[in-house]
Amino acid sequence: MVVPMNPAGRASWPAAHRLAVFFALAFAISWLVWPLTLLNPNSSPLIPFGPALAAAITAFLAGGKAELLQLLRQLARWRVAGRWYLAAAGLPCLLVTLSTGLTVSGGAPAPELGPNPGWFMLLGTFAFTLVTVGLFEELGWRGYALPLLQRDRPALSAALLLGLVWAAWHLPELLSDPTGQRPPLPFLLMVLAQSVLLGWLYNSSGSVPICMVFHAAFNTSGALVFPALLGPDYLTLWWTVALLHVLAALVVIAVAGPLRLARTLDMNPSHGIT
């Protein structure tokens, strides 16, 4: 990749500060509508495509058209081993199901899921979430930021650092929600653990779409269960979800190793921006 140079022969400022530019843009774009919640508390405090747009802008500023195309080409990496699709779709659903079962076995009433939503509606919800959450976030967080963070630090450290940034990015949703649907501490633990799991999936498969599937599968299954357990057992469910995510992340670290968070592929810069 050709790095744009200034007249003095040095790398351009965006090229030398890709992460800082990306994070600043991701927060600035995504939080742009937050003040509007003062006028309409029911409006969304986040622009969901902020991370993806920030990654595209940063890639273009730092490396021109070539780097932008390199970023976008990651969305075409669907052809990976089926086990990664199974892990990406099955693991979040399993964690939500186990969390619900443990919460109910601890005394919570079985959740009333209402009328059977049907496979068509579930698939429609998943497809919608795959774009509005999976694509809009994962192209930025895992497709752009994670490879850059892993250049000079172990994969586990990079995943945890990215997890802290990712959790902070959700701050408008946490502060603008008077009902407390996302309890801060278990939410932070879950996001950190998910960042490790997503780092493992990305490093092992080299695929942003795999991360998109994981993200969409968790949000879809969670949207089916979490609203059905609102009440005194809701916080218990959140803590159970968070702790099971932490347990799954610890297993991944033990098996894949903290240095690479991968057993099937060498850490390869070509997965992301080089």
For the stretch 58-93, pLDDT in tens is 999 999 999 999 999 999 999 999 999 999 999 999
Cα 221 to the chain's mean position, in Å? 15
- Give φ, ψ of 116 to 5 degrees: -55, 115
d(Cα 86, Cα 182) in Å, to the nearest integer?
A: 27
- Looking at per-residue pLDDT, the higher value among 94 and 272 belongs to 94
pLDDT for the residue numbered 266: 43
260: left (phi over 0), alpha (psi -120 to 50) or beta: alpha
Please state the rounded mean pLDDT for residues 128-132.
95
Mean pLDDT, rounded, of the chain: 89
Half-sphere exposure of 218 (CA within 13 A, CB side): 23
The model's pLDDT over 252-264, given as tens digits with 9 standing for 90+, comes to: 999 999 999 997 5
Residue 265 banded pLDDT, cuts 50, 70, 90: very low
138-156 residue pLDDT tens? 999 999 999 999 999 999 9
- Model confidence pLDDT, tens digit, residues 113-124: 655 666 778 888
Integer Cα distance of 210 and 21 in angstroms: 26
Q: Cα separation of 267 and 259, whole Å?
A: 9
Average pLDDT over residues 239-256: 98
The alpha carbon of 6 is separated from its chain's Cα centroid by a whole number of angstroms, namely 34
Q: Is pLDDT at 52 greater than 90 in this prediction? A: yes
Structure tokens at 241: 């979800």
pLDDT at position 267, please?
Answer: 44
Q: Residue 268's pLDDT band (boundaries 50, 70, 90)?
A: very low
**Residue 21 pLDDT more than 90?**
yes
What is the predicted pLDDT for the residue at 227?
A: 84
The whole-number pLDDT of residue 59 equals 97
Q: In percent, how much of the chain has pLDDT > 70?
A: 88
CA distances from 122 to 145, 153, 248 (A): 31, 39, 25
